[in-house]
A and B are shown apart, each in its own frame.
Chain A
Amino acid sequence: MRIYELTFIVDPRVADEDVVAMTQEYKQMIAAGGSTISKEESWGRRKLAYPIEKLNEGKYVLLGIESEDGRTSLPEVEHRMRQNDKILRYLTVRIDEDLKRAAAKHPPAPAAAPGTPAPGEPAPPAEAAGEGA
């Protein structure tokens, strides 16, 4: 399964309802491409670190997208965003591999199987620090 994150910045002059409507449209496109929306975050108006198209603020929206078979309509969505001049920026990132790698390195807590002694002894008492003042 592939997991993507699609973040985009909308022109702050666009009304909130219209941002919602736009987001809805993109979500429908994504759904039509056979992926599911796993997360939706609206960060609202946020100051940009540098001006984009002479604007100092932008409205951020983040969508989490999951695709079972790796086929998505993301290229189409990106194409639409490029054409929409109300979208100042967008970024699509595939994160499943990174998350998997991270989970493999430090598995989340409830992974302790019964009968498996925890590796490593409990934290030793703080030794005298080798650093003098």
Chain B
Amino acid sequence: MARPRKVFYRRRKVCKFCADKIDYIDYKDVKLLQQFVPERSKILPRRISGTCARHQRLLQQAIKRARHLALIPFTTD
């Protein structure tokens, strides 16, 4: 009964910061941060981006700092 089993696959998400060995997420690096704030300017959740917990925490901090300095928006209307 060699029924072809349905193969599921999901691309394995890897934390971008781990892969790139970034240990300090700079709030001034707008280009980098923007990858994690899609159109609505909400912070991209871990479950989507695959960022590890530690880096998500650092990222969150950096995004909030950047927002304070008007480098990235809080929201888009």
Do A and B share a complex? yes
Seen from chain A, the residues whose Cβ lies within 8 Å of a Cβ on chain B are 7, 9, 48-50, 52, 58, 60, 62, 88-89, 91, 93, 95, 98-99, 101-103, 105-106, 131
A93 touches B27 (CB 8 A): yes
B65 touches A91 (CB 8 A): yes
A91 touches B68 (CB 8 A): yes
Seen from chain B, the residues whose Cβ lies within 8 Å of a Cβ on chain A are 9, 11, 21, 23-24, 27-28, 58, 65, 67-74
Residues of A within 8 A of B67 (CB): 49
A131 touches B9 (CB 8 A): yes
Alpha-carbon gap, A14 to B70, bound state (A): 18
A98 touches B24 (CB 8 A): yes
Chain B interface, DSSP helix/strand/loop, else mixed = loop
Q: Select one of A7, A88, A95, A131 contacting B11, CB under 8 A.
A: A131
A50 touches B74 (CB 8 A): yes
Known: A101-B23, A105-B23, A131-B11. A49 touches B68 (CB 8 A): no
Alpha-carbon gap, A48 to B69, bound state (A): 8
Question: Whose C-beta in chain A lies nearest to the C-beta of B68?
Answer: A91
Known: A50-B74, A131-B9, A131-B11. A99 touches B24 (CB 8 A): yes
